[in-house]
Chain A
Amino acid sequence: MLKQLTTTQVWVHDQDEALAFYTEKLGLELREDVTVPEMGNFRWLTVGVPGQPDVAIVLMAVPGPPVFDEETRVQIMALVAKGAASGLFFAAEDIQATYEELRGRGVEFQGEPTEQPYGTDVGFHDPSGNQMRVAQLT
Protein backbone atom coordinates (compact mmCIF):
# COMPACT_ATOMS: atom_id res chain seq x y z
CA MET A 1 0.00 0.00 0.00
CA LEU A 2 1.27 3.46 -0.84
CA LYS A 3 1.97 5.45 2.29
CA GLN A 4 2.58 9.04 1.37
CA LEU A 5 3.35 11.46 -1.43
CA THR A 6 6.87 12.79 -0.94
CA THR A 7 7.86 14.54 -4.13
CA THR A 8 6.17 16.20 -7.07
CA GLN A 9 7.64 17.87 -10.11
CA VAL A 10 7.03 20.81 -12.39
CA TRP A 11 8.83 21.48 -15.67
CA VAL A 12 10.50 24.88 -15.67
CA HIS A 13 12.10 26.84 -18.49
CA ASP A 14 14.86 28.29 -16.32
CA GLN A 15 15.78 26.79 -12.95
CA ASP A 16 17.32 29.96 -11.51
CA GLU A 17 14.31 32.04 -12.50
CA ALA A 18 11.99 29.40 -11.06
CA LEU A 19 13.95 29.20 -7.81
CA ALA A 20 13.75 32.96 -7.37
CA PHE A 21 9.99 32.91 -8.00
CA TYR A 22 9.21 29.98 -5.71
CA THR A 23 11.37 31.24 -2.85
CA GLU A 24 11.30 35.04 -3.06
CA LYS A 25 7.72 35.49 -4.29
CA LEU A 26 5.86 32.42 -3.04
CA GLY A 27 7.88 32.07 0.17
CA LEU A 28 8.91 28.44 -0.27
CA GLU A 29 12.32 27.35 0.97
CA LEU A 30 15.22 25.80 -0.91
CA ARG A 31 15.64 22.14 0.04
CA GLU A 32 18.13 20.49 -2.32
CA ASP A 33 20.39 21.90 -5.01
CA VAL A 34 23.01 19.58 -6.40
CA THR A 35 24.60 19.24 -9.81
CA VAL A 36 25.62 15.76 -10.93
CA PRO A 37 28.52 15.71 -13.43
CA GLU A 38 28.03 12.05 -14.37
CA MET A 39 24.47 12.88 -15.40
CA GLY A 40 25.48 15.60 -17.84
CA ASN A 41 25.46 18.26 -15.10
CA PHE A 42 21.86 17.39 -14.26
CA ARG A 43 20.69 19.78 -11.53
CA TRP A 44 18.42 18.35 -8.83
CA LEU A 45 16.67 21.39 -7.42
CA THR A 46 13.86 21.11 -4.89
CA VAL A 47 11.84 23.54 -2.79
CA GLY A 48 9.16 23.08 -0.18
CA VAL A 49 6.70 24.79 2.09
CA PRO A 50 8.39 25.88 5.35
CA GLY A 51 7.24 23.59 8.14
CA GLN A 52 6.26 20.77 5.75
CA PRO A 53 9.56 18.91 5.40
CA ASP A 54 8.12 15.67 4.03
CA VAL A 55 6.90 17.05 0.68
CA ALA A 56 9.27 18.48 -1.92
CA ILE A 57 8.67 20.09 -5.30
CA VAL A 58 11.26 19.40 -7.97
CA LEU A 59 11.93 22.35 -10.28
CA MET A 60 12.96 20.32 -13.30
CA ALA A 61 14.60 21.75 -16.40
CA VAL A 62 13.21 20.28 -19.60
CA PRO A 63 16.02 18.04 -20.87
CA GLY A 64 17.23 17.45 -24.39
CA PRO A 65 19.14 14.34 -25.53
CA PRO A 66 19.71 11.73 -24.23
CA VAL A 67 16.46 12.03 -22.27
CA PHE A 68 14.24 13.68 -24.90
CA ASP A 69 14.94 14.44 -28.52
CA GLU A 70 15.01 18.13 -29.36
CA GLU A 71 11.53 18.10 -30.90
CA THR A 72 10.04 16.64 -27.72
CA ARG A 73 11.89 19.14 -25.55
CA VAL A 74 10.50 22.04 -27.58
CA GLN A 75 6.99 20.54 -27.45
CA ILE A 76 7.11 20.24 -23.66
CA MET A 77 8.38 23.80 -23.31
CA ALA A 78 5.53 25.02 -25.52
CA LEU A 79 2.90 23.05 -23.59
CA VAL A 80 4.14 24.43 -20.27
CA ALA A 81 4.25 27.97 -21.67
CA LYS A 82 0.61 27.84 -22.71
CA GLY A 83 -0.56 26.47 -19.38
CA ALA A 84 -1.23 22.94 -20.58
CA ALA A 85 1.18 21.17 -18.25
CA SER A 86 1.11 20.31 -14.58
CA GLY A 87 0.19 22.41 -11.57
CA LEU A 88 0.36 22.73 -7.82
CA PHE A 89 -2.33 23.49 -5.28
CA PHE A 90 -1.38 25.13 -1.99
CA ALA A 91 -3.34 25.88 1.15
CA ALA A 92 -3.27 29.07 3.22
CA GLU A 93 -4.69 29.98 6.60
CA ASP A 94 -5.88 33.39 5.42
CA ILE A 95 -6.44 33.54 1.66
CA GLN A 96 -7.03 37.28 1.52
CA ALA A 97 -3.87 38.11 3.43
CA THR A 98 -1.87 35.61 1.37
CA TYR A 99 -3.30 36.99 -1.86
CA GLU A 100 -2.33 40.53 -0.93
CA GLU A 101 1.10 39.50 0.31
CA LEU A 102 1.96 37.55 -2.84
CA ARG A 103 0.50 40.21 -5.10
CA GLY A 104 2.69 42.75 -3.31
CA ARG A 105 5.70 40.61 -4.21
CA GLY A 106 4.76 40.64 -7.88
CA VAL A 107 2.72 37.45 -8.31
CA GLU A 108 0.24 38.03 -11.13
CA PHE A 109 -3.07 36.46 -10.16
CA GLN A 110 -5.80 35.36 -12.54
CA GLY A 111 -8.46 37.12 -10.53
CA GLU A 112 -9.41 37.70 -6.92
CA PRO A 113 -10.06 35.06 -4.25
CA THR A 114 -13.39 33.43 -5.01
CA GLU A 115 -15.63 31.24 -2.90
CA GLN A 116 -15.81 27.63 -4.02
CA PRO A 117 -17.59 24.61 -2.51
CA TYR A 118 -14.31 23.60 -0.83
CA GLY A 119 -13.26 27.04 0.39
CA THR A 120 -11.94 30.25 -1.12
CA ASP A 121 -9.20 30.15 -3.71
CA VAL A 122 -7.34 32.04 -6.39
CA GLY A 123 -5.02 31.02 -9.21
CA PHE A 124 -1.84 32.20 -10.88
CA HIS A 125 0.90 30.87 -13.14
CA ASP A 126 4.57 30.47 -12.37
CA PRO A 127 7.07 32.10 -14.78
CA SER A 128 7.13 28.95 -16.94
CA GLY A 129 3.34 28.70 -17.20
CA ASN A 130 2.53 26.04 -14.62
CA GLN A 131 -0.89 26.50 -13.04
CA MET A 132 -0.84 27.28 -9.33
CA ARG A 133 -3.75 27.70 -6.95
CA VAL A 134 -3.85 28.70 -3.32
CA ALA A 135 -6.93 28.02 -1.21
CA GLN A 136 -8.25 28.63 2.25
CA LEU A 137 -10.06 25.33 2.69
CA THR A 138 -13.28 25.10 4.68
Chain B
Amino acid sequence: MSAHVPPARHLLRARDLVDARYREPLDVPTLARAAHLSEAHFSREFRRVFGETPHRYLLTRRLERAAALLRNTDRTVADICLAVGLRSVGSFTTSFGRAFGLSPTAYRAAHPPAVTRARIPTCMRLAWGRPQPSSFGEDGCERSD
Protein backbone atom coordinates (compact mmCIF):
# COMPACT_ATOMS: atom_id res chain seq x y z
CA MET B 1 0.00 0.00 0.00
CA SER B 2 1.15 3.56 -0.59
CA ALA B 3 2.46 5.83 2.16
CA HIS B 4 -0.59 8.10 2.27
CA VAL B 5 -2.94 5.30 3.35
CA PRO B 6 -4.16 5.86 6.93
CA PRO B 7 -2.46 3.44 9.36
CA ALA B 8 -5.80 1.94 10.39
CA ARG B 9 -6.23 0.62 6.83
CA HIS B 10 -3.24 -1.65 7.35
CA LEU B 11 -4.83 -2.93 10.55
CA LEU B 12 -8.10 -3.53 8.74
CA ARG B 13 -6.20 -5.56 6.17
CA ALA B 14 -4.92 -7.81 8.96
CA ARG B 15 -8.41 -8.13 10.43
CA ASP B 16 -9.81 -9.03 7.01
CA LEU B 17 -7.16 -11.70 6.82
CA VAL B 18 -8.46 -13.20 10.06
CA ASP B 19 -12.05 -13.14 8.79
CA ALA B 20 -11.09 -14.81 5.51
CA ARG B 21 -8.48 -17.31 6.67
CA TYR B 22 -9.31 -18.14 10.29
CA ARG B 23 -9.21 -21.87 9.40
CA GLU B 24 -5.52 -21.68 8.61
CA PRO B 25 -2.72 -21.72 11.21
CA LEU B 26 -2.61 -17.92 11.49
CA ASP B 27 -0.60 -16.30 14.25
CA VAL B 28 0.12 -12.75 15.35
CA PRO B 29 3.50 -12.50 13.52
CA THR B 30 1.75 -13.40 10.25
CA LEU B 31 -0.93 -10.79 10.88
CA ALA B 32 1.68 -8.18 11.78
CA ARG B 33 3.43 -8.81 8.47
CA ALA B 34 0.15 -8.33 6.63
CA ALA B 35 -0.19 -4.96 8.34
CA HIS B 36 3.44 -4.06 7.61
CA LEU B 37 4.10 -3.46 11.30
CA SER B 38 6.37 -4.92 13.95
CA GLU B 39 4.67 -7.52 16.12
CA ALA B 40 4.62 -5.45 19.30
CA HIS B 41 3.49 -2.29 17.52
CA PHE B 42 0.85 -4.22 15.59
CA SER B 43 -0.70 -5.81 18.69
CA ARG B 44 -0.79 -2.47 20.50
CA GLU B 45 -2.29 -0.59 17.56
CA PHE B 46 -4.80 -3.33 16.75
CA ARG B 47 -6.09 -3.20 20.31
CA ARG B 48 -6.24 0.58 20.27
CA VAL B 49 -8.21 0.69 17.00
CA PHE B 50 -10.47 -2.37 17.36
CA GLY B 51 -10.72 -2.67 21.13
CA GLU B 52 -9.25 -6.16 21.48
CA THR B 53 -5.98 -7.90 20.80
CA PRO B 54 -5.46 -9.58 17.43
CA HIS B 55 -5.12 -12.93 19.19
CA ARG B 56 -8.48 -12.47 20.86
CA TYR B 57 -10.12 -11.32 17.61
CA LEU B 58 -8.83 -14.46 15.86
CA LEU B 59 -10.04 -16.70 18.69
CA THR B 60 -13.50 -15.13 18.84
CA ARG B 61 -13.88 -15.37 15.07
CA ARG B 62 -13.04 -19.08 15.28
CA LEU B 63 -15.49 -19.58 18.14
CA GLU B 64 -18.23 -17.70 16.28
CA ARG B 65 -17.70 -19.90 13.21
CA ALA B 66 -17.61 -23.01 15.41
CA ALA B 67 -20.95 -22.05 16.93
CA ALA B 68 -22.43 -21.74 13.43
CA LEU B 69 -21.12 -25.19 12.51
CA LEU B 70 -22.53 -26.66 15.73
CA ARG B 71 -25.93 -25.26 14.76
CA ASN B 72 -25.79 -26.03 11.03
CA THR B 73 -23.94 -29.32 10.67
CA ASP B 74 -23.99 -32.74 12.25
CA ARG B 75 -20.20 -32.93 12.41
CA THR B 76 -18.48 -33.95 15.62
CA VAL B 77 -17.12 -31.37 18.06
CA ALA B 78 -13.57 -32.53 17.27
CA ASP B 79 -14.17 -32.07 13.52
CA ILE B 80 -15.53 -28.58 14.09
CA CYS B 81 -12.59 -27.66 16.32
CA LEU B 82 -10.17 -28.53 13.52
CA ALA B 83 -12.40 -26.97 10.82
CA VAL B 84 -12.12 -23.52 12.41
CA GLY B 85 -8.36 -23.68 12.79
CA LEU B 86 -8.05 -24.79 16.41
CA ARG B 87 -5.85 -27.74 17.32
CA SER B 88 -6.82 -28.76 20.85
CA VAL B 89 -10.35 -29.95 21.59
CA GLY B 90 -9.74 -29.36 25.31
CA SER B 91 -8.75 -25.73 24.79
CA PHE B 92 -11.59 -25.28 22.32
CA THR B 93 -14.12 -26.57 24.84
CA THR B 94 -12.77 -24.26 27.54
CA SER B 95 -12.70 -21.19 25.28
CA PHE B 96 -16.13 -21.96 23.87
CA GLY B 97 -17.56 -22.27 27.38
CA ARG B 98 -16.13 -18.90 28.36
CA ALA B 99 -17.56 -17.25 25.24
CA PHE B 100 -21.01 -18.85 25.12
CA GLY B 101 -21.58 -20.06 28.67
CA LEU B 102 -22.10 -23.64 27.50
CA SER B 103 -19.92 -26.48 26.33
CA PRO B 104 -20.01 -27.11 22.56
CA THR B 105 -22.15 -30.20 23.11
CA ALA B 106 -24.58 -28.36 25.38
CA TYR B 107 -24.71 -25.43 22.94
CA ARG B 108 -25.66 -27.79 20.13
CA ALA B 109 -28.30 -29.47 22.29
CA ALA B 110 -29.80 -26.06 23.13
CA HIS B 111 -30.55 -25.44 19.44
CA PRO B 112 -32.83 -27.25 17.00
CA PRO B 113 -31.07 -30.17 15.27
CA ALA B 114 -29.13 -29.15 12.17
CA VAL B 115 -31.15 -31.53 10.05
CA THR B 116 -34.31 -29.56 10.82
CA ARG B 117 -32.60 -26.22 10.19
CA ALA B 118 -30.99 -27.17 6.87
CA ARG B 119 -32.49 -25.16 4.03
CA ILE B 120 -33.14 -28.19 1.87
CA PRO B 121 -35.63 -27.10 -0.82
CA THR B 122 -39.02 -28.77 -0.90
CA CYS B 123 -38.42 -30.09 -4.42
CA MET B 124 -35.40 -32.01 -3.16
CA ARG B 125 -37.24 -33.36 -0.14
CA LEU B 126 -39.95 -34.60 -2.51
CA ALA B 127 -37.49 -36.06 -5.02
CA TRP B 128 -35.10 -37.72 -2.59
CA GLY B 129 -37.75 -38.77 -0.10
CA ARG B 130 -39.58 -41.16 -2.40
CA PRO B 131 -39.00 -44.86 -1.68
CA GLN B 132 -36.94 -46.81 -4.17
CA PRO B 133 -39.17 -48.04 -7.05
CA SER B 134 -38.04 -51.61 -6.48
CA SER B 135 -38.87 -51.62 -2.77
CA PHE B 136 -42.59 -52.24 -3.11
CA GLY B 137 -45.06 -53.70 -5.57
CA GLU B 138 -48.01 -52.21 -7.37
CA ASP B 139 -50.78 -54.58 -6.31
CA GLY B 140 -53.37 -55.06 -9.04
CA CYS B 141 -51.74 -52.49 -11.30
CA GLU B 142 -49.58 -54.68 -13.48
CA ARG B 143 -49.71 -53.70 -17.10
CA SER B 144 -50.76 -56.30 -19.64
CA ASP B 145 -49.37 -54.56 -22.71
Contacts and interface: CB of A to CB of B under 8 A. Distances in A.
Does B associate with A? Answer: yes
Interface string A57-89: 000000101110000000000000000000000
A67 B74 CA distance: 24
A66 B124 CA distance: 11
Contacts of B118: 32, 34, 36, 44
B72 interface: yes
A27 B118 CA distance: 22
B119 A7 contact: yes
Nearest to A101: B21
Select the residue from A6, A7, A33, A63 with max chain B CB neighbours within 10 A.
A33
Nearest to A56: B119
A64 B120 CA distance: 18
A38 B129 CA distance: 6
A111 interface: no
Bin chain A's interface residue count: 20 to 34
Given A32-B114, A33-B73, A34-B118, A27 B20 contact: yes
Interface stretch (B41-49, B86-94, B130-138): B130-138
A90 interface: no
Interface string A1-41: 00000110000000000000001000101111111101110
B123 to A, nearest CB: 10
A50 B127 CA distance: 31
Given A27-B20, A39-B125, A51-B20, A34 B73 contact: yes
A65 B73 contact: no
Contacts, number: 71
Contacts of B65: 29
A66 B133 contact: yes
Contacts of B72: 31-34
Interface in B58-84: 65, 68-69, 72-75, 83
Contacts of B23: 23, 29
A59 to B, nearest CB: 13
Given A7-B119, A50-B20, A40 B74 contact: no
A56 B128 CA distance: 20
B52 interface: no
A67 B128 contact: yes
Interface of B: 19-23, 65, 68-69, 72-75, 83, 114-115, 118-121, 124-125, 127-134
Given A40-B128, A40-B129, 5 more contacts: A34-B73, A34-B114, A34-B118, A39-B128, A51-B20
Interface of A: 6-7, 23, 27, 29-36, 38-40, 42, 44, 50-51, 56, 63, 65-67
